[in-house]
Amino acid sequence: MARVVATLILILIVAGCSRKPPYEGKSVAELERMLRSSDATAQAQGALGLSQHGAEAKDAVPALIEALKSEHTLVRQHAALALGKIGPEARDAAPALTAALSDSEWTVRRQAAVALGELGSEASSAVPALERLAKDPDRLVRQAGQEALAKVRGITPKK
């Protein structure tokens, strides 16, 4: 009996793990529609999916900038992640990402700093705000700010 129960549990675990995430296999346009959904979970999934498309998701930059204003932390965090993965093509997001450096949630501040670093010199207007992160209460945010400053300034960080 115990062996049957263990086998059933294993089958359920494997079956549960084999489901693909809702954003997998979707086009940039489909993910952007998810991002514009009224459902916060769909928005977060859409932004996360866009992050996997990198620079080819550049047409979604306006929607991602808007998502940085969401009341939901995970949506803001994933939007910043996606903008960073798009890289310099997301240059129009630099002001919104700079504003996100003041977010109440440390995860959003950290991800916004990382994203600004990925924009490189396109985010030079963010330098003063990134410098202020040196006083952030969270160590991971401070570290992300330092790394982003180096990238924006064109300095290769030491490993």
Q: Kindly state the percentage of the chain with pLDDT values over 70.
A: 86
Does residue 10 have a pLDDT over 80? no
Is 18 or 29 the better-scoring residue by pLDDT?
29
Does 4 reside within a domain?
no
Does 113 reside within a domain?
yes
Does 107 reside within a domain?
yes
pLDDT (tens digit, 9 = 90+) per residue, 96-145? Answer: 999 999 999 999 999 999 999 999 999 999 999 999 999 999 999 999 99
Domain that holds residue 139: 26-152
Does 58 reside within a domain?
yes
| HSE-CB for 90 with a 13 A CA cutoff | 37
CATH number for the domain harbouring residue 144:
1.25.10.10
Does 3 reside within a domain?
no
Domain count, the chain: 1
Residue ranges of alpha helices (H) inside 20-137 are: 28-35, 40-51, 61-67, 73-86, 94-100, 106-119, 127-132
Predicted TM-score (pTM) of the model is 0.86
Does residue 158 have a pLDDT over 70? no
Does residue 24 have a pLDDT over 80? yes
Give the span between the Cα atoms of 146 and 131, in whole angstroms: 8
